[in-house]
Chain A
Amino acid sequence: MAIEDLAFLIPILPALAFVLTFFLGKKLPSGGAMIPIAAITGSFLISIVITINMLANPEHVISQSYHWFSILNLGILIDPLAAVMLSMVSFVSLLIHIFALGYMSHDKAQSRYFAETALFTAAMLGVVLSDNILQFFICWELVGLSSYLLIGFWFEKPSAASAAKKAFLTTRIGDVMFLAGIILLFTDIFKLVNGTIPDGVYLLRFDEIFSFIPELSAMTATILGYEISHLTIITLLFFGGAVGKSGQFPLHVWLPDAMEGPTTVSALIHAATMVTAGVYLVARTFPMFLAAPQSLIIVAYVGAFTALFAATMGLVMNDLKRVLAFSTISQLGYMTLGLGMGAVIGAEAVGISIFHLINHAFFKALLFLCAGSVIHAVGTHDMRQLGGVAKVMPITAATMFAAALALAGLGIPGTRIGASGFLSKDPIIEAAYLFGEHGGSWFPYVFAIVAALLTSLYIFRLLFMTFTGEPRSDYGGHESPASMTVPLGILGVFALIFGALTTKVFNGFLSTTFLNDFVHMDFHELAGLGGYELAHTAGHHEPLLILWMPIIVALIGLLIAFVVYYLKLIDMSDIVSRNNPVYKLLYNRYYQHQIFTELFSIKFIYEGIALAGFYLEKSLDWIVSGISGFIIEAGEVLKKAQTGVIQQYATAIITGVGLLLILVELVTEVF
């Protein structure tokens, strides 16, 4: 039996584990955690074998479709893009599950936790191997649901309940846009085929969608006097969905609040599932974006802005997990920026962006699990109360340091030596440079470089504040159990060397995503549809300074953090105070809470709805009481007919019959 025949098991196994753990978990040891762990191990093994097979023969993709109803299908598509995502998601998710064995061991609702994370993983795996956009959307919504359940895992806490609600509602805005995009896409394609669909053709399958790109880009609509192609509108709506799920500005507000769940959930959301879904959506439909350059430019700008914007806020947070949350938003900004760079480098953008996604998954999962390990041992996540943790938790400190190196992107330019973050972030920054050089604006490059500086600064600030120096409060710490440190060690190794090992094969492997026996796209032709040309990237040479720039700013960031937070040579109390307007602005996170929640949500939406509701209620009241009042009044009049005197009833009957007879007589005479 070929391994391809087992591909459908990849999402099914965790889904089954969800059902089993949910109903039987309470009776099993440690909340039935072994069921999801076994199931995800199975998914991981299948995925990794498929990936290894595919490495040898990337043109041969696995595509299986089953008729669902009418012109829609259910199916799986595993091309290089999906294969690496599947392996990463199942691997990271597996490690997080093992880590959670120790981390959640004191929790009463363990079985619910493991059931929900299994569902989360199943949904994400479902997203990754969907071969049509509708199935993609269904799994996408499942991801949203499970994130809601997990963020609100400790739902007795009001803050957790409201964070879950916030995450759900904020991503909902994106989801609605995504759905609108799908509907528009479907109606357009349906119009194009003129209602005649050959047998075995499923309209929303990716290969069908891609084959309609030229027609879609020729259809135009006029909005506000601008002529915009339908393809641009659809891709922008899709990107709207990605903005919601991947926490890009301005829909990023839910991500920092999502810290209310258990730390392992944060690791799962930030690394393996959920936030990567948005980037994956853009990567999956990348040929459409390539033929819609306006959308790509917007993708690039949103990504670059988010990368910088979130990094500035990460700089001043005092909560261990919040720093990491803003770091995730910032790194997702890099991935989005990388995709947007498709405007210059074509489909290579998918390769560098997904490479960063995979590397980020390793080191961000590691960062969160380390933070979880610290929180588990120490019981606080306020960095101002920590310090010197490295003495009690050496393994955690060492792995966290590895993750920080990867996040800051330290390595030697021009070679393949460096932490994984270096090998994936640099190509994105270089692509941004190319973008500027080829007539685009320089904003993405500048933003990306400044964000790189800040990234290094905030992560080493976190590291020095937490792990070095003297303890700033009384905490009794201990190193975490083996079920927690082993995943940390594995992830630490991956964070350091995965990039170096795979950087050579990765881009080549992913470049076959749209060049295989399932879809075969000509990127220069697609760019031509959008009215621009791809740069010839082969053998390009940036100035040496540009090549070294990211590493220089990263080292500067490290140096500043070292001087300020380790050596404490500079007294920061003047700068870090409420009197400093810049600090205040950052500390209050650009007043997003005030603007989004208090001003926008409460003032405009909530009070607007309340006001509308007031008048609606009033008018409804008027209608309802009007009807009932009329009926009561009519009854008052008509009840007088019920005299209770039999003779009068008899008279009425006879009169009625008489009148009826006369009527019948008249009618028969007329006709």
Chain B
Amino acid sequence: MIPLNCYLGLSAIIFAIGLYGLISQSNGIRILMRVELMLNSANINFVAFSSYNDDLTGQVFVLFSIALAAAEAVIGFAILISIYRMHDSIDLSKLNLLRW
């Protein structure tokens, strides 16, 4: 059986990749994908703990979390489409109206 730490390590690596991407990228779709990555790293943690503790609650949570991620993606992409219609670009670093 694969030790728990491997799952946690995998989860941490995926989270870090997502985080790095979130900070470094400026393309809106890429940022959304990074957010998905971070969300899923958390899901991995949930499932791993659930399996190791013989407790289904974690897995139920993950189902909710996936549904939530889908809804979030829908809204996120809808926003991005309307941004594209307005600016002909989805470069979020240029969307800096709310600044000093």
Contact = CB atoms under 8 A, between A and B. Distances in A.
Contact of B99 (A644, A650, A651, A654): A644
B99 A642 contact: yes
B100 A639 contact: yes
Contacts of A644: 95-100
Interface in B16-43: 19, 22-26, 31
Contact of A650 (B22, B97, B98): B22
Contacts of A645: 93, 96, 99
A647 interface: yes
Contacts of B92: 646-647
B96 A651 contact: no
Contact of B100 (A640, A647, A650): A640
B96 A650 contact: no
A482 to B, nearest CB: 87
A647 B26 CA distance: 7
A601 B22 CA distance: 76
A424 to B, nearest CB: 87
A642 B99 CA distance: 5
A647 B97 contact: no
B99 A643 contact: yes
A645 B22 CA distance: 12
B38 to A, nearest CB: 11
A647 B24 contact: yes
Contacts of B19: 654
A642 B26 contact: no
Contacts of B31: 646
A651 B19 CA distance: 9
Interface residues of A, number: 11
Given A645-B93, A646-B92, A651 B100 contact: no
Contacts of B23: 647, 650-651, 654
Nearest to A639: B100
B66 to A, nearest CB: 23
Interface string A626-668: 0000000000000110111111001100100000000000000
A647 B93 CA distance: 8
Contacts of A647: 22-26, 92-93
A642 B26 CA distance: 17
Contacts of B96: 643-645
Contacts of A640: 100
Nearest to B92: A646
A651 B93 CA distance: 14
B26 to A, nearest CB: 7
Nearest to A635: B100
Nearest to A640: B100
Contacts of B99: 642-645
A310 B60 CA distance: 102
Contacts of B24: 647
Contacts of A650: 22-23
A654 B22 CA distance: 11
B100 to A, nearest CB: 4
Interface in A456-483: none
Interface string B30-65: 010000000000000000000000000000000000
A616 B25 CA distance: 58
A296 to B, nearest CB: 79
- Which of B26, B31, B95, B100 counts the most A-chain CB atoms under 10 A from its CB? B100
Nearest to B28: A646
A164 to B, nearest CB: 59
A642 B22 contact: no
Q: Which of A639, A640, A647 has the most CB of B within 10 A?
A: A647
Of the candidates B24, B31, B93, B95, the one having the most CB atoms from chain A within 10 angstroms of its own CB is B93
A646 B22 CA distance: 9
A516 B31 CA distance: 99
14 contacts: A642-B100, A643-B99, A643-B100, A644-B99, A645-B93, A645-B99, A646-B93, A646-B95, A647-B23, A647-B24, A647-B25, A647-B26, A647-B93, A654-B23
Q: List 9 tightest A-B contacts by C-beta distance, closest first.
A: A644-B99, A644-B96, A639-B100, A642-B100, A651-B23, A647-B23, A644-B98, A650-B22, A646-B92
Given A643-B100, A647-B24, A650-B23, 20 more contacts: A642-B98, A642-B99, A642-B100, A643-B96, A643-B99, A644-B96, A644-B97, A644-B98, A644-B99, A644-B100, A645-B96, A646-B31, A646-B92, A646-B95, A647-B25, A647-B26, A647-B93, A650-B22, A651-B23, A654-B23
Interface of A: 639-640, 642-647, 650-651, 654
